[in-house]
């Protein structure tokens, strides 16, 4: 979730982030992995391509409708609802909870977001 298209180009890679994630997820499945860690932006593609064969764990979760305002060092962020609605099985939430004055409210808001999808 901390790499964008420009980072791949800087490393000399010509694939898009989505293509690279899908390639690596297919390879992980072939090698016997049960799941992958993936941005919520790629979760729908992985779910469409691989069905329920693979668990998808999505970090870079941020609360609120405008996730780009609270990205920190993450480049590929989504809300909890977007991640689960897009096919992720699990979400990983860190700073929005640990830096909050009211972590319970943040969790309740994320739960409501998930249930809205």
Q: Walk me through the domains of the chain, giving residue ranges and CATH numbers.
A: 5-115 (3.20.20.70)
> Has 62 been labeled as part of a binding site?
yes
> Has 99 been labeled as part of a binding site?
no
- Summarize the confidence of residues 63-76 as an average pLDDT: 66
Q: What is the mean pLDDT of the chain?
A: 88
Query: What does the pLDDT look like over 96-114, one tens digit per residue?
Result: 999 999 999 999 999 999 9
> Has 98 been labeled as part of a binding site?
no
Q: Is pLDDT of 44 > 70?
A: yes
Question: Where does the pLDDT of residue 71 fall: very low under 50, low under 70, confident under 90, or very high at 90 and above?
Answer: low
Q: What is the pLDDT of residue 1?
A: 57
- Torsion sign, CA atoms 69, 72, 76, 80: negative
Q: Is pLDDT of 9 > 60?
A: yes
> Has 47 been labeled as part of a binding site?
no
Q: Is pLDDT of 8 > 90?
A: no
Question: Where does the pLDDT of residue 36 fall: very low under 50, low under 70, confident under 90, or very high at 90 and above?
Answer: very high
Q: Is pLDDT of 69 > 60?
A: no
Q: Collect contacts of 98-101 with beta carbons under 8 A, ≥24 apart.
A: none
Look up residue 3 and give its two tokens: 């790499």
> Has 111 been labeled as part of a binding site?
no
Distance CA 1, CA 20 (A): 13
DSSP secondary structure string for all residues of 56-105:
EEE--B--SS-GGGG-TT-SS-B-HHHHHHTT-SEE---HHHHT-S-HHH
């Amino acid at each position: 979730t901390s790499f964008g298209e420009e980072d791949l180009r800087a490393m000399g890679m010509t694939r898009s982030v989505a293509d690279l994630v899908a390639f690596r997820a297919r390879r992980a499945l072939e090698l016997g992995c049960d799941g992958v860690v993936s941005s919520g932006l790629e979760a729908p593609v992985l779910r469409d391509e691989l069905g329920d064969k693979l668990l998808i764990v999505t970090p870079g979760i941020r609360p609120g409708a405008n996730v780009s305002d609270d990205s920190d060092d993450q480049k590929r962020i989504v809300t909890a609802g977007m991640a689960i609605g897009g096919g992720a099985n699990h979400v990983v939430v860190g700073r929005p909870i640990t830096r909050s004055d009211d972590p319970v409210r943040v969790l309740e808001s994320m739960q409501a977001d998930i249930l809205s999808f």
